[in-house]
Structure 1
Amino acid sequence: MGEVRKLQKKLRQIENLEIKISHSLTPEERVKISRKAELRTRLADLLLQLCGPQQTLEIVGEGKQGKMKRQVHSDATSEPHPLHSPSATKIPKIPKGQTEQTAQQEKTTSLKETSREKGSKDEAERQVKAGNGGKESEPRPARINTSPEEDQDAEFTSLKASWEKAKFRLRSLEGHSDIITCVVAVDNLVISGSRDTTIKVWHVPTATEQRNLGGHTGGVTCLAVPPSEYCRRLACDLSLGEKEWFILSGSADCCVKIWALSTGQCVKSVYTFNAVTALCFVPEGHGYIITGSDGGKVQAWSWQTMENCQSINAHEEAVTSLQAQGPLVFSASAEGGVSVWEGLCSDRQPLRLLHHWDAAVTGCAGQGGRLTLSPRGDRLFVAYGTSSLRILNWRTGTVFRLANHSSIAGVTDCVHQTEGLLIGSCYDLANGESMLNLFSLPRCRYLTSLTCADTPRILSFAAWLTGSGGHRWVTGGRDLTVWEQLPSSGKQRGDITAKRDCRLDVTPMESEGLTGDEDSDDYSDDDGVDEEDHTSQNAAETGLSSWLRCVLQESEVIEGVGTE
C-alpha cells in the first residue's frame, strides 16, 4: 500500500505540473512529465494485485447486455441470504409440552372454522348477486398500502433505469488558450473564466463565442451570477435595460469586476489588495459580494457602492470555495477547514460566524486538494481532491463519507447539485479516465456514471435545464465542453457511455474525529521517495493547494510578461 500511495503522489504532482504553462516548465519538470505513462502502468498493476482474485466485477454499459454481472470466487461456504433463498414448504412447529394428538385436534378445529368462514363468504356473494338481478358483480381492485420507504425505492428504481439509458451529445467550445478555472450559466449562455486572463460568453445552441471580456491582468479564478432582482436594480441605476444580466469575476490580479452581458463592458471594479480566489453573492438587504483571498481573508463588499464593509481573517490558508444559501455563506480553505456565516443585513458587519469546523472534523487535513462546497439545507457536500465526497452536517459537525470512486487512485475535483441530482466529478490517476458520477437526492443513492474516452480532467462544472426539460451541463478544465442530453427514445447515438459500478452502491458511512483517511496524499515518511517528491513538499509550504498555486503562479507570469 505504501508504494501505491507514493505512485499516487507522484502522479498528482505530474498532473499539477501539466497544468502549468508549457513554456514555464523547467527541464527537470519535463523529465518528470515524461514518466507519466510508466508510473500509470506501475500503479495499475499494483491496484490489480491489491484487488486479488477473490472478486471479479464486470461492468457493461449500453446495449442488450446493459447489466452488471458479478462473480464472487471464494472457497468458504456461506449460507444463502434469506431474501434470495429458494421457496420451501413451511412445517409448523409443535409448542413445547403439547402432544401430537392435541395439535392434530387444534388443526382439525381450525380447518372447520375456515370452512365455515368460507361458507359465510359464499353466501354473502350469492346475496349480492341476487340483489344485482342475477348478474355477477364487478370485482373491486385490491387496495395496496405502501410505505413512504417503498414509494421512494420505487421512484429510485425508475430514476436509475432512466439514467442507465442516458444519452448525451458533447460539443467543445474552443477559444481559451489556457486552463478553464470556472464556469456559470445564464439562460442559453455559458460564461467561462480562464487562467489566460479572459472571460468568454458563449451561445450554447450555436456553440459560438458571443463576447470576449478582457480587462483582468491575472488569471480569472471565480465567477458568480447575482439574482435577477439585483441585476434589475443595478441596470436601473446604470440606465440599462431591465432585462440586463451582470456577471461577477474575481482574479489573481486582486480585482473584482462587474460585467454587463449585453455590452460586454466592465461597469464596476474594485481593488481588494489580495489575490481573489473565490466569491459569491449574498441576496440580503441591498446585496453583498463576498470574496475570499489567497491568504485566508473573507471580505464583504456593497453591491451598490463596491465599498468594503467587512474584512475577516477567517482561515489560515487560501479560501478555495464560497457558496451562499439564502442569508448563509459557507467558506472552505486549503487547510481543510469549513466556516458558516450568517448575513446580518448590516453595512458595518454583514457577516457573523455561526460555526467553524477544522480539518480534524472534516477529515480534509493534508489532502493538498482544492476544497469545493455545495450546500443543501443542513448538509454540505465537500469535494477535496480524493476518491470520496464528504457530507458535513454544518450544525452538528457530523461527517459522512460518500464513495465517489471504486479505487483509491480516484480524484474528486468538484461537486454540484441540479434538479434532484448530486453530481461529482472523478479523475482516475491510474488510467487518465474522467467521469461524472450521479447520485439521487436527498438520500445520495448512486445512479450511474457518465464517461467519454476523450474527456480530460474536470475542474469546474455548471448545469441547468433546457426548455424541453432536458439536462444541459458544461465542464471546464483543459477543454470547455457542453453536455447536451438527447431523447432516450431516439435512434441517435450519444457520445458518452452510461455504466454502473456496483462498488459505489454503498450507504454514506459516518466518520467521526477524522484527521485524514485512506485517501490522504500527505506522508510523513520520505523513505524511498526520490527528489521529485521534494518539489511538491516545497510547494505545499506556501499554504496553497497545488491546483490553486498553479493558477496564481502562472497568472503572475502572464502579468509580468505583459508589463515588460
Structure 2
Amino acid sequence: MGEVRKLQKKLRQIENLEIKISLTPEEEFKISRKEELRRRLAELQLQLCGPQRTLGIQADGEESEMKRHVEDAPEALPSQTPPASKILRGEDAKCKCEDGPALLATQRTTGGVVKTAQRQERTHTATVSHHDRRDMSEDCPDRGDDDDGGRRQGQEDAEFTSLKTSWQKAKFRLRLLEGHNDIITCVVAVDNLVVSGSRDTTVKVWHVPTATEHKNLGGHTGGVTCLSAPPPEYCKKLAWSLSLADTERFILSGSADCNVKIWALSIGQCVKSLYTFNAVTALCFVPEGDGYIITGSDGGKVQAWSWHTLDNCQSINAHQEAVTSIQSQGPLVFSSSAEGGVSVWENRCSDRDPLSLLHRWSGQVTGCGGGRLTLSPRGDKVLLAYGQAWIKILHWRTGTVSRLTNHSSVTGVTDCVHQTAGLLIGSCYDLANGESMLNLFSVPQCRYLASLTWQRAPRILCFAAWTTGSGDHRWVTGGRDLVVWEQLPSSGRRRGDITVRTDSRLESPLESEGDTENDEETDDEHLDDDEDGRRGGRETDVEDGGSGSWLRCVLQ
C-alpha cells in the first residue's frame, strides 16, 4: 500500500513538472522516469487486485440503442438542479483508421514546419462512453404541486434523455495543428481563427477551415501563459485610434517575460505592450464601461488596466501565491491562486481602483490547495479544476462546496473546465496509464452525458469552444498537441468503431464536501523517496479494488 501511494504521488509530481513554464536538469531527469514508474504502479495494482473478475464494467452492444432517433439538443435545460452522476471512465476503442490524428501526433515535425500530407483532414470518430442512471429528485414538491412538479420533471427528463442520446452518437473530425515545438498552454477562438500560446514563447494564429498556420506572432522572450480576445465593439475603438480597419480583431497575450502584448491579427504585429514588473500568469478582458484588462502575476498580484488609455488603474496583492486563472462574468471578476484561494471582485468602471472585493475564500474552504487551479463561473457558482479526480463547485456567495466526480480512479486529474452552449466540459487525464478524455455534462444540472476520447489522446491542458451557424460544435484542445474538434452534421455521420461501456460503481449523485473525506495531497516536487514514504501517511488508503480494478479493465 505504501509503495502504491508513493508512486501515485511521484507521478502527480512529474505531471505537474511537465507543465511548468521552465525546467531544471534535475526536473528533466525526474520526468524521464515517468514510464518506469507507471509500469511499476500497474504491476503493484494488479497484484493488490488479485485474479478476481472485474464487476460493473460491461459493453453496450445493443444495436437498437445505437439507432435511437436523435432529437435536437436544447442549449440549456430548465433551472432546477437535480443531482449529477459521477463520471464514467470509458475504454478506448480500437480505431480502424490507423492514420488518424493520433498517428499524426507521433509524427510532429521540428522547427514549426507543417508537412502538407500531415495537414490533410482525417475523419476520425471519437470514442463515446456513456453511463445510464436513474434520476434522483433533489427535493420533494409540496403536495399541492405534485402534478405540476411531476410534469416539469418528466419534461426535463425527456429533454435530458434526448440530449444524452445525441451525444452518445456524436462524431467528430479531429485535425492536428502542427507548428509549436513545446507545450501549448492557452487557446482562444476568434471567428474562423484559433489562436494558441506556447511555452516556446510564440503565439500562433491558425485558419480552422484549412487547418493551416495563418500567422506566427513572435515577440515574447518567455513562455506564453495566457490569451484573451476582446469583443468586436472594443476592438473597433482601438482600431480607430491606430488607423486600422473597423473589422480588425485583437488578441491579448501574457507571458513569463512580464509583458502583456496586444496583437492585430490582420497584420500579425504587436501594436501595444504593457510591462507588469512580474511574470504574467493569467489575464482576461472585462467588457464593461470603456473596457479593462485584468492581469494576475506569479507573486499573487491582480492588476487592472484601462483599455482606453492602457494605464494601470489598480494593483492589489490579492493572493499569497501565483494567480492561476482569471475569468469575468458581466461586471464580476473571478481570480484563483495556487494555494487554492478564490476571490470575487466587482468592476465599478472607475478610472482609479475599479475592482472592489466582494468575497474571498481560502484554500481551506475550497479544498483546492496544492494544484493548478482553473475556474469557470456560472451565476452564483464557480466550477474549479485543480489537478484531482473531481470538479469542485463553489457557491461563491455562501462558501459552500460540493464536488462532481470527473474520473473513476484516484489517479485521474482534471486540468481544465469549460462551459459552452449548455455543456460543461471537463478534461480528464489518468496519471497511471496516460489516457486522456473529455467528459461532458449538461448545465445547469451537471448531469453526466458522455466521455469522448481517441487512441493515444494527449493530456488536455487548455480548451476553447464555439458553435457553427448550423449549431454544431467546434472545439480546440491544447497540451502536447493542438487539436481541432469539428462535429460532423447529421448527414455526415457514419457508423464508426465505437465501444460504449458503463460502470455501475459510478452510480452516485453530486457529493457535498461535508460528506466526503479530505482529498488533498501534498505535492512537493522535491521530495525524495524517503520523504515520500514518511509523508505518505497523510493520504487516505484509496489504493484498493476501486482504482486497481479499473486499471485491470484497461489493461485487459
Specify the SS of the correspondent of 1:205: coil
Query: What are the superposed Cα offsets for residues 255-296 of structure 1, whole Å, 9 maximum, x if unpaired?
Result: 001111111111110110000000011112111100000000
Same amino acid, percent of matched pairs: 67
1:215-226 correspondence to structure 2 within 5 Å: 215-226=219-230
1:21-100 correspondence to structure 2 within 5 Å: 24=25, 28-29=29-30, 32-33=33-34, 35-42=36-43, 44-45=45-46, 48=49, 55-60=55-60
Unaligned runs of 5+ in 2: 68-86, 89-133, 136-146, 537-556
The aligned counterpart of 1:128 is: none
The aligned counterpart of 1:384 is: 386
Partner AA of 2:33 in structure 1 = K
Mark the CA change 1:192 to 1:531 in structure 2 (over 3 Å): closer, same or farther.
farther
Partner AA of 1:530 in structure 2 = D
Note if contact 2:56-2:502 (Cα within 8 Å) is conserved in structure 1: no
The yes-or-no answer on 1:316 pairing with 2:330 is no
Query: What are the superposed Cα offsets for residues 467-516 of structure 1, whole Å, 9 maximum, x if unpaired?
Result: 221111110000000111113454535698665555444321111498x7
- Structure 1 position 14, deviation (Å): 2.8
- 1:407 alignment partner, one of 409, 413, 433: 409
- Structure 1 position 66, deviation (Å): 5.9
Mark the CA change 1:46 to 1:259 in structure 2 (over 3 Å): closer, same or farther.
farther
Note if contact 1:163-1:498 (Cα within 8 Å) is conserved in structure 2: no
- Work out the CA distance in 2 between the residues paired with 1:61 and 1:283: 49
- 1:432 alignment partner, one of 415, 421, 434: 434
Partner AA of 1:14 in structure 2 = I
- 1:260 alignment partner, one of 251, 261, 264: 264
- 2:154 alignment partner, one of 142, 150, 153: 150
- Work out the CA distance in 1 between the residues paired with 2:335 and 2:515: 20
- Work out the CA distance in 1 between the residues paired with 2:327 and 2:295: 10
- 1:161 alignment partner, one of 152, 161, 165: 165
- Structure 1 position 42, deviation (Å): 3.3
Partner AA of 2:36 in structure 1 = R
Note if contact 2:428-2:439 (Cα within 8 Å) is conserved in structure 1: yes
Partner AA of 2:396 in structure 1 = W
- Work out the CA distance in 2 between the residues paired with 1:61 and 1:216: 52
Mark the CA change 1:314 to 1:468 in structure 2 (over 3 Å): closer, same or farther.
same
- Structure 1 position 6, deviation (Å): 1.9
The aligned counterpart of 1:492 is: 494
- Structure 1 position 34, deviation (Å): 5.0
Q: Over aligned residues, Cα RMSD in angstroms?
A: 3.3
- 1:239 alignment partner, one of 232, 240, 243: 243
- Work out the CA distance in 1 between the residues paired with 2:206 and 2:64: 38
The aligned counterpart of 2:4 is: 4
- Work out the CA distance in 2 between the residues paired with 1:239 and 1:496: 53
The aligned counterpart of 2:518 is: 517
Unaligned runs of 5+ in 1: 70-81, 84-142, 538-564
- 1:300 alignment partner, one of 280, 304, 328: 304
The aligned counterpart of 2:98 is: none
Note if contact 2:418-2:463 (Cα within 8 Å) is conserved in structure 1: yes
TM norm structure 1: 0.75
The aligned counterpart of 2:144 is: none
Larger Rg computed on CA atoms: 1
The aligned counterpart of 2:373 is: 371
Partner AA of 2:12 in structure 1 = R
Query: What are the superposed Cα offsets for residues 124-183 of structure 1, whole Å, 9 maximum, x if unpaired?
Result: xxxxxxxxxxxxxxxxxxx99962111111100111111111111111000000000000
Note if contact 2:13-2:523 (Cα within 8 Å) is conserved in structure 1: no
- Work out the CA distance in 2 between the residues paired with 1:13 and 1:308: 37
TM norm structure 2: 0.76
Query: What are the superposed Cα offsets for residues 417-438 of structure 1, whole Å, 9 maximum, x if unpaired?
Result: 0100000000011211100000
Note if contact 2:185-2:224 (Cα within 8 Å) is conserved in structure 1: yes
Note if contact 2:416-2:462 (Cα within 8 Å) is conserved in structure 1: yes
Note if contact 1:7-1:43 (Cα within 8 Å) is conserved in structure 2: no
The yes-or-no answer on 1:347 pairing with 2:351 is yes
Specify the SS of the correspondent of 1:443: coil
The yes-or-no answer on 1:331 pairing with 2:335 is yes
Partner AA of 1:317 in structure 2 = E
- 2:232 alignment partner, one of 215, 228, 231: 228
Partner AA of 1:382 in structure 2 = L
The aligned counterpart of 2:273 is: 269
What is the count of residue pairs matched by the alignment?
458
Mark the CA change 1:332 to 1:152 in structure 2 (over 3 Å): closer, same or farther.
same
1:172-211 correspondence to structure 2 within 5 Å: 172-211=176-215
The aligned counterpart of 1:95 is: none
